[in-house]
């Protein structure tokens, strides 16, 4: 590929950056000769009128600085490829294609972006001309407004294509061979309004002021003057006058000729022209023109090294406004072109410039974090701060609580006396150690089962250790559910057709949820749920067996029929989640259609509204993934533990309620069964319902959803009591440790 600048002659290329600045100010002649009048009015002695710069990008420092700055900043942003699941793509055919958009010219993506931004900001249009068909194409040229002519030229006819004019040669391009981004213009159909048109007068004033100052320096840094003669009519014609002036300038013009003497012949006289008040205001005029030029491209002065009226706070606010109001919208224009090319290569991928990677956004994000810290110190829960400030973090279990900065403990624990109990337990432990030291470290006598007491500290520490033991499994299933709901969203959006929906809402709304998709969703969820239930139940059995010092393989020599039946019931129930999500999406889509009709929106606006409704519903489903993962994982682990206690013939067991978001009925269960415990064959009465163990699947939803209460053995088969020290020294079998124990040995 050859760059257009090497294919077009100078006159052709300059068309983009050339604006008609012509216009001569006419003043009255107060008895001056014609030559004096021309000089004063800005005309050349030989009759040519003055104009603005023929090539502003090269001749106006502010035009050059603004456009180059925008182009350089865009080139400095990385392009990110993502798939429909929002996963970043860092290899593959499309990724390699963008590294070399034209493999014959050696031009990289930054080269294309620089030309694209430049032509767009100069001419109001940016075009990528493609060479090739299907997916085997390349970007052949980057063009501006002056390079392309409309086909047909009659603006009353529909646009059919574009004609590239390169010198005396031309080539026609069909519409699908040109990717364009055109600035809106009320004056030309299908064409863009060059920003330079809006800046024309300011650019002209700035250039002419510079030219004027330069002229004064070349004339000895002194005000100019007039050569005139008293004869009327003049004894010289225009050619002779021009020759006299050229001779005079050649002997007297230039800074180094200042103060030199000159001789006048033929009755000519010299009259010096003094500086006027307007001459002295040229500096202010240039500043005003400069500011107007910068305003056209929305570039703040601080970015160009101009520190007038600037301070640190002002500079920061100007940079933030520049990136949010100038660069963000410029990147959106470029993104539309990048994405149209990318979709031709792979309809499942999206290409965008990562504006968030700009240093200013890291600084703004740090300020957000400081604001978040201040809000959290005032008692606003983390999850609420995260949502309000859009920090981008996942909601957390502890994020719904206010935390006091006392080694980070929940404020509610302070209010409930938990922290005081922990402090009391620490003090008691220190006193016990001191007594042991004074008694010569004599061992304590064993405590009888009936005398075992669980302090609040014991319960908190044991419960947290247990929840942590299967937290990794819960997080894995949560991610699985989130990915499942993303698949549902992607499949529904693929069937979206707003025109068909408007024609027949009832019939075509059902087409969003095809039988094939629903079958696929159900089979997928059934498969992943079965695998997860197997893992979680088996882990619970192993953990329970380890807790009572038994061997899981001996306790469970074969599949447990009771657990297998319960897992089948759970599988049927969890598949119902798909239908719940479908009904939620359908409800929101219907509401969106009604609102769109009331607003009188276009098909495109309706499409956007429906897409947003679908995405919102699926996002809410992904938010529910934590509740689903927590409930299902906790149920299976608790089922396995309870079955292990039954197989090991544990005599009694206790109920320890969760220490976060605890139901009142579960707190009452702990008060009733947490000290003395109950025999293994009896059930806990919780909220008026009989439960075999915490999170019992046979219980009602209000007592089991999100339940993380813990069942621990009280006395084992031989009568030995399980006290808090058992968990302090041995702890719980964790999911990570269990996975390592069942993993096949690595090959030697």
From 401, 473, 477, 466, select the one nearest 662 (Cα to Cα).
Answer: 401
pLDDT of residue 340: 92
Q: d(Cα 522, Cα 493) in Å, to the nearest integer?
A: 18
Phi, psi of 405, rounded to the nearest 5 degrees: -75, 65
pLDDT tens for 634-679 read 999 999 999 999 988 999 999 999 987 788 999 999 988 888 789 9
Helix axes of 471-494 and 456-469: crossing angle, nearest 10 degrees: 50
Count CA atoms closer than 13 A to 328's CA, side-chain side: 10
Q: d(Cα 664, Cα 610) in Å, to the nearest integer?
A: 41
CA distances from 125 to 18, 70, 433, 628 (A): 15, 15, 82, 51
pLDDT of residue 127: 93
pLDDT of residue 32: 39
**Does the pLDDT of residue 317 top 60, yes or no?**
yes
pLDDT band at 234 (very low <50, low <70, confident <90, very high): low
Q: d(Cα 191, Cα 171) in Å, to the nearest integer?
A: 19
pLDDT of residue 665: 92
Share of the chain above pLDDT 90, in %: 18
Q: d(Cα 215, Cα 231) in Å, to the nearest integer?
A: 29
Q: d(Cα 568, Cα 639) in Å, to the nearest integer?
A: 13
**DSSP annotation of 102:** B
Q: d(Cα 205, Cα 53) in Å, to the nearest integer?
A: 10
pLDDT of residue 499: 63
Q: Which tokens in the block code for residue 708?
A: 């993380």
| Residue of 322 and 34 predicted with greater confidence | 322
The answer to whether residues 18 and 55 touch, using CB atoms and an 8 Å cutoff, is: yes
DSSP of 434-495: HHHHHTTSPPPPPPPGGG----HHHHHHHHHHHHHHTHHHHHHHHHHHHHHHHHHHHHHHHT
pLDDT tens for 577-615 read 888 888 888 888 888 888 888 888 887 888 888 888 888
Q: Which of 303-317, 338-352, 506-520, 629-643 has the lowest mean pLDDT?
A: 303-317
- Cite the beta strand spans of 134-267 per DSSP E: 136-143, 148-151, 161-166, 169-174, 178-182, 225-229
Q: d(Cα 174, Cα 160) in Å, to the nearest integer?
A: 7
Q: Which of 270-274, 302-306, 481-485 has the lowest mean pLDDT?
A: 270-274
Q: Which residues pair with 227 in a beta bridge?
A: 270
The residue extents of the domains of the chain are 362-400, 456-742
pLDDT of residue 84: 84
Q: d(Cα 175, Cα 161) in Å, to the nearest integer?
A: 5
pLDDT tens for 120-149 read 999 999 999 998 887 888 888 899 988 899
pLDDT tens for 277-294 read 455 556 677 788 888 888
How far does Cα 591 stand from its chain's mean position? Answer: 28
Sequence-separated (6 or more) residues with CB below 8 Å from residue 32: 40, 226, 228
The answer to whether residues 208 and 50 touch, using CB atoms and an 8 Å cutoff, is: yes
**Does the pLDDT of residue 446 top 60, yes or no?**
no
DSSP of 54-71: SSHHHH-HHHHHHHHHHH
Q: d(Cα 166, Cα 735) in Å, to the nearest integer?
A: 69
| Residue of 81 and 243 predicted with greater confidence | 81
**Does the pLDDT of residue 573 top 80, yes or no?**
yes
Q: Which tokens in the block code for residue 98?
A: 């963008």
Q: At which residue do the structure tokens 């034209």 appear?
A: 102
> Which whole number is the average pLDDT over 413-436?
50
pLDDT of residue 637: 93
CA distances from 447 to 435, 453, 713, 720 (A): 17, 10, 16, 10
Q: d(Cα 596, Cα 600) in Å, to the nearest integer?
A: 6
Average pLDDT, the chain: 77
Q: How far apart are the first and last CA of the chain?
A: 56
| Residue of 415 and 483 predicted with greater confidence | 483
Count CA atoms closer than 13 A to 117's CA, side-chain side: 25
SS3 208: helix
> Which whole number is the average pLDDT over 372-390?
80
* Highest mean pLDDT (candidates 103-112, 381-390, 447-456, 737-746): 381-390
């Amino acid at each position: 590929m050859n760059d257009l600048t090497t294919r077009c002659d100078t006159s052709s290329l300059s068309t983009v950056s050339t604006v008609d600045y012509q216009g001569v100010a006419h003043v009255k002649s107060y008895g001056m000769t014609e030559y004096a009048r021309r000089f004063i009015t800005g005309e050349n002695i030989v009759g040519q009128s003055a104009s603005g710069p023929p090539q502003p990008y090269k001749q106006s420092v502010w035009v050059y600085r603004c456009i180059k700055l925008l182009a350089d900043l865009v080139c400095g942003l990385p392009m990110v490829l993502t798939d429909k699941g929002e996963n970043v793509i860092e290899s593959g055919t499309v990724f390699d294609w963008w590294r070399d958009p034209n493999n014959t010219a050696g031009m990289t993506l930054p080269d294309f972006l620089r030309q694209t931004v430049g032509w767009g900001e100069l001419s109001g249009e940016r075009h990528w001309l493609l060479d090739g068909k299907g997916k085997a194409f390349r970007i052949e040229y980057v063009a501006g407004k002056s390079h392309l002519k409309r086909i047909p030229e009659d603006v009353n006819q529909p646009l059919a294509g574009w004609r590239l004019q390169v010198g005396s040669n031309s080539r026609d391009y069909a519409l699908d061979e040109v990717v364009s981004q055109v600035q809106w213009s009320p004056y030309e159909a299908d064409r863009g309004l060059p920003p330079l048109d809006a800046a024309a007068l300011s650019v002209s004033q700035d250039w002419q002021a510079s030219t004027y100052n330069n002229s004064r320096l070349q004339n000895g840094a002194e005000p100019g003057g007039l050569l005139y003669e008293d004869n009327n009519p003049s004894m010289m014609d225009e050619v002779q006058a021009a020759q006299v002036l050229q001779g005079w300038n050649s002997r007297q013009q230039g800074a180094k000729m200042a103060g030199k003497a000159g001789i006048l012949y033929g009755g000519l006289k010299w009259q010096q022209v003094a500086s006027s008040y307007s001459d002295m205001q040229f500096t202010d005029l240039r500043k005003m023109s400069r500011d107007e030029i910068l305003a056209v491209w929305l570039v703040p002065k601080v970015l160009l090294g101009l520190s007038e009226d600037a301070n640190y706070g002002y500079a920061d606010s100007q940079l933030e406004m520049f990136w949010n109001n100038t660069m963000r919208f410029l990147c959106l224009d470029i993104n539309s072109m990048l994405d149209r090319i990318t979709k031709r290569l792979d309809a499942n991928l999206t290409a965008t410039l990562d504006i968030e990677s700009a240093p200013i956004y890291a600084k703004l994000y740090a300020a957000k974090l400081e604001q978040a810290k201040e809000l959290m110190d005032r008692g606003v829960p983390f999850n609420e701060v995260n949502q309000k400030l859009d920090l981008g973090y996942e909601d957390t279990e502890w994020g719904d609580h206010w935390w006091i900065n006392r080694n980070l403990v929940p404020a509610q624990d302070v209010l409930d006396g938990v922290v005081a109990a922990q402090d009391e337990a620490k003090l008691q432990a220190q006193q016990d150690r001191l007594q042991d030291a004074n008694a010569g470290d004599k061992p304590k006598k064993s405590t009888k089962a009936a005398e075992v007491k669980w302090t609040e500290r014991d319960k908190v520490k044991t419960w947290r250790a247990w929840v942590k033991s299967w937290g990794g499994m819960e997080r894995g299933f949560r991610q699985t559910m989130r990915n499942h709901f993303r698949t549902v969203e992607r499949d529904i959006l693929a069937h979206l057709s707003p025109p068909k929906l408007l024609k027949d809402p009832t019939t075509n709304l059902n087409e969003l949820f095809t039988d094939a998709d629903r079958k696929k969703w159900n089979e997928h969820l059934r498969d992943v749920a079965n695998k997860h239930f197997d893992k979680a139940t088996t882990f619970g059995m192993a953990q329970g067996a380890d807790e009572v010092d038994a061997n899981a393989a001996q306790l469970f020599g074969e599949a447990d029929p009771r657990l297998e039946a319960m897992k089948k019931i759970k599988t049927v129930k969890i598949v119902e989640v798909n239908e719940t999500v479908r009904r939620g999406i359908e409800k929101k889509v219907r509401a969106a259609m009604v609102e769109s009709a009331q607003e009188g929106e276009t098909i495109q606006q309706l499409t956007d509204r429906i897409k947003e409704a679908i995405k919102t519903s699926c996002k809410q489903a992904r938010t529910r993934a934590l509740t689903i993962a927590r409930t299902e994982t906790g149920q299976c682990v608790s089922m396995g533990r309870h079955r292990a206690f039954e197989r090991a013939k544990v005599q009694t067991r206790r109920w320890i309620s969760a220490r976060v978001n605890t139901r009142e009925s579960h707190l009452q269960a702990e008060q009733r069964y947490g000290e003395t415990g109950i025999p293994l064959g009896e059930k806990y009465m919780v909220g008026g319902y009989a439960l075999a163990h915490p999170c019992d699947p046979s219980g009602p939803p209000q007592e089991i959803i999100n339940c993380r209460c813990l069942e621990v053995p009280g006395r084992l088969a031989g009568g030995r009591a399980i006290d808090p020290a058992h968990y302090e020294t041995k702890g719980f079998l964790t999911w990570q440790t269990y996975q390592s124990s069942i993993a096949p040995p690595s090959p030697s």
